[in-house]
A and B are shown apart, each in its own frame.
Chain A
């Protein structure tokens, strides 16, 4: 069965939940995409003109087009799109009709925006006291930086562990793409589930405050550890590249690219096996933890290792490393990934038909959950594709739907 076809009668874990999704850009839509993937009925409310992510590349064909953004496409599969102008009374009334049937409302406007429109938490609470509102914002709903802006770079610079990334004598350097925003989005998906659990298991409604910055200040990618290491010891984490050097450790060039052997030296016996040097197991210079800190020993060892690497391709090196159970990662390009038999044969890739882009190949399931798990039910929606359908489901009559579709001048 082609991906994207609805599965008749199949139960998905979250298919009894309706999410009213007022998020835009990357972090919020990634969070709601996860819930949608596991069956939630996610109603994506876009302002006239659409989610700003529709203007973010890459675009199919390289030319900006609101229905051809690969970024928007990935983030919004499995959702339905409606357009409401929340500056109009009709738009707000329609939103409240949808909220009355929702299990969770999530938004990512600048703090205070919904209040100014008269549709803040109190308005949702008045409809349903146990209806949670999750607000995702740059720095949170309160505090001195409440109105400050963020980008993926500025978020990671300030709240993530960017300071220690890069060469000591150069500027700190970020992760690729918008990885920091994706991490925040995954953390926000957990928060949404938490709010749903509190609401549906315990009858507790609340206005949850998700600060993108705090999702990184408390995050696992070294920031919480660098913080407590300083509190413990007064030590700070030096910015340092992973040039090879730890018998082995770090990144090494090879015949056709690079391989990463970070921490591989923790298991010297396996490394000796990988290199077919069984005699090293009896060589104290290479086995004794103290002697392995000696720069002269490391240099001698590198003399063996670097030559071994440059004579082999990244895949050949990884084959040997896997055989000997050595920590190793070949540096793949996207082409390597797309053509790799492991990812292909496990069914990692999927595809969907889209009215403007045709058949699109994209990464499939983020995880395997055999019962009630991931399905690609529909491609990303066209702007406002489902406005009439969704409002009719909410019981709005033709006049109310027309009023809801008016745009403020």
Chain B
């Protein structure tokens, strides 16, 4: 078997929530050994779930991607199988240590000495309170690469502002740029596109820094201010303001470049939105030729031959009335069947896929996209697959989502070679544990 691209690179994952863990997940998928120190006495909200021991009613009331636990039950170890956690914590290792105490911090110091990257995205000040600084890390390991992913950066008036991805979306302009054109912004749903970008760019930056270190022998401190990082996603709006002073607004599902037409239309549905059985199809038509092909593919109705619709400018002007006509047609069509019919004539179209339906998709099945993982705490399930396919260095899920403290033996005995006496002392002091302390709610 070929070596993995990042084989031999060790990453300490001091990350929380999504943006950091997504970055280290990508590094783990590429073969880096990613080790997460976890504190049995401190729960990090939104990482291994909202709280350590949620009441059943809390899980039931939470949105599915947060509260949809195995079998619908909170069970004995809810921190092991929160849907967002298991999605981000394959291919990593977990060990426990209380970093608030000097002997715990010393364990981390020894691990840093054997690692390449320390990666964190805590609220500003969190690590400083533990006396974990770049200087401290560099003393333990002069070549260490320290990745920090704060919300707004370590300097400036917003340095200490608390934020999840959704708050950053607001500040970097995304929240006013998205959503229905005819509704107020409170119709927006909380989303986390900035976590995606910061995570992927974090993995990219970490690899770039390793490349640099191997050329020069230098480690360094890298800072990804998420609000700055993700602003690039809104290039069209930024450049329109920069070049022309134009303030773009929400455009719903229309094309930001003004190509017409584009929309999301109702399809024949087995049920309603309330039961999450409403079907929709997204369609993009960019050229006059595609418009003519579309008209033919839907049976050449008279209205589609209206000369006002023949050009892009005409379709922009009459977008609303064309949308209404298309919706009348699509409402009677099966979304998958219509996708195939439109794609056959070169038109971008696909169902707005509710997540459970991806498991039935023939293309994803044919490509072997899904991965089955067995985690002792939760059982055997099929998970979404990796982001890329490399034939010679395939991304495998070689470690199921990590259970709390699953790799204590590996880290303390194999990696750090902690003497038996110290091991027993750390165990007695509660550093080494396989569950959160009973005092943690």
Contact = CB atoms under 8 A, between A and B. Distances in A.
A346 B363 contact: no
A333 B216 contact: no
Contact of B173 (A191, A333, A368): A333
Interface in B149-195: 152-153, 155-158, 160-164, 166-180, 183-193, 195
B216 A372 contact: yes
Contacts of A195: 5, 390
A11 interface: yes
Contact of B243 (A60, A158, A231): A60
B392 A204 contact: yes
Given A13-B211, A158-B352, A238-B63, A329 B175 contact: yes
Contact of A187 (B211, B276, B355, B388): B388
A222 B191 contact: yes
B388 A194 contact: yes
Given A163-B352, A174-B178, A233 B72 contact: yes
A158 B351 contact: yes
B138 to A, nearest CB: 13
B180 to A, nearest CB: 6
Interface residues of B, number: 169
B57 interface: yes
Interface residues of A, number: 159
Contacts of B348: 148-151, 153-154
B117 to A, nearest CB: 13
A153 B123 CA distance: 33
Interface in B41-75: 45-46, 50, 55, 57-58, 61, 63-72
> Which one of A13, A140, A191, A196 has the highest number of Cβ atoms from chain B below 10 Å of its Cβ?
A13
Contacts of B384: 217-218, 223-224, 227-228
Contact of A221 (B153, B191, B347): B191
Contact of B358 (A34, A190, A217, A252): A217
Interface stretch (A278-286, A356-364, A390-398): A356-364
B356 to A, nearest CB: 4
A16 to B, nearest CB: 7
Interface string B93-129: 0000000000000000000000000000001000000
Contacts of A222: 65, 84, 191-192
Contact of A338 (B183, B241, B349): B241
A62 B245 CA distance: 11
A247 interface: no
A215 B388 contact: yes
B12 interface: no
A225 B208 contact: no
Contacts of B253: 153, 171, 173-174
B203 interface: yes
A227 B359 contact: yes
A297 interface: no
Given A153-B264, A183-B193, A325-B162, A371 B216 contact: yes
Given A57-B258, A220-B196, A251 B186 contact: yes
A260 B166 contact: yes
B197 to A, nearest CB: 5
Interface string A174-186: 1111110011001
B262 to A, nearest CB: 6
Given A13-B208, A230-B64, A331 B185 contact: yes
Given A153-B262, A229-B83, A186 B208 contact: no
Contacts of A235: 64, 67-68, 72
Nearest to B347: A149
B356 A322 contact: no
B4 to A, nearest CB: 8
Nearest to B343: A148
B26 to A, nearest CB: 6
B155 A346 contact: yes
A113 to B, nearest CB: 15
Interface stretch (B277-285, B302-310, B413-421, B428-436): B277-285
B65 A225 contact: yes
B247 A333 contact: yes
A365 interface: yes
B65 to A, nearest CB: 4
Nearest to B183: A167
Contacts of A373: 222
B273 A221 contact: no
A346 B6 contact: no
B170 A190 contact: no
Interface string A218-254: 1111111111111111111111111110000011110
A207 interface: yes
Interface in A136-157: 139-140, 142-145, 147-154, 157
A387 interface: no
Contact of A175 (B171, B193, B212, B220): B193
Given A231-B383, A260-B167, A365-B228, A204 B2 contact: yes
Chief secondary structure at chain B's binding surface: mixed
Contact of A167 (B30, B50, B86, B187): B187
Interface in B250-270: 250-253, 255-258, 262, 264-266
A330 B171 contact: yes
B369 interface: yes
A189 interface: yes
Given A229-B65, A234-B72, A337-B172, A258 B186 contact: yes
Contacts of B286: 151
A369 interface: yes
Nearest to B30: A194
A367 B222 contact: yes
A154 B191 CA distance: 18
Contacts of B262: 151, 153
A408 interface: no
B161 A209 contact: no
B22 interface: yes
A166 B353 contact: no
A94 interface: no
Interface in A102-135: none
A303 interface: no
Given A165-B189, A183-B200, A140 B171 contact: no
Contact of B283 (A57, A154, A232): A154
B286 to A, nearest CB: 7
A190 B282 contact: no
Given A251-B185, A329-B166, A363-B228, A168 B216 contact: no
B142 interface: no
Given A190-B203, A346-B153, A367-B229, A74 B235 contact: yes
Nearest to B286: A151
- Sorted nearest first, the 7 A-B pairs with minimum C-beta distance are A70-B239, A329-B167, A229-B68, A329-B170, A176-B177, A157-B282, A186-B200
Given A157-B264, A194-B207, A266-B46, 13 more contacts: A70-B240, A74-B238, A197-B5, A211-B389, A218-B384, A219-B387, A222-B192, A225-B65, A230-B64, A236-B356, A321-B161, A333-B176, A346-B155
30 contacts: A58-B246, A61-B244, A74-B239, A144-B366, A149-B343, A149-B347, A152-B256, A153-B282, A162-B282, A164-B189, A167-B187, A176-B177, A177-B235, A190-B204, A201-B5, A204-B392, A214-B367, A214-B386, A221-B192, A231-B359, A232-B83, A329-B171, A329-B175, A330-B171, A335-B241, A335-B247, A362-B238, A365-B228, A369-B208, A373-B222
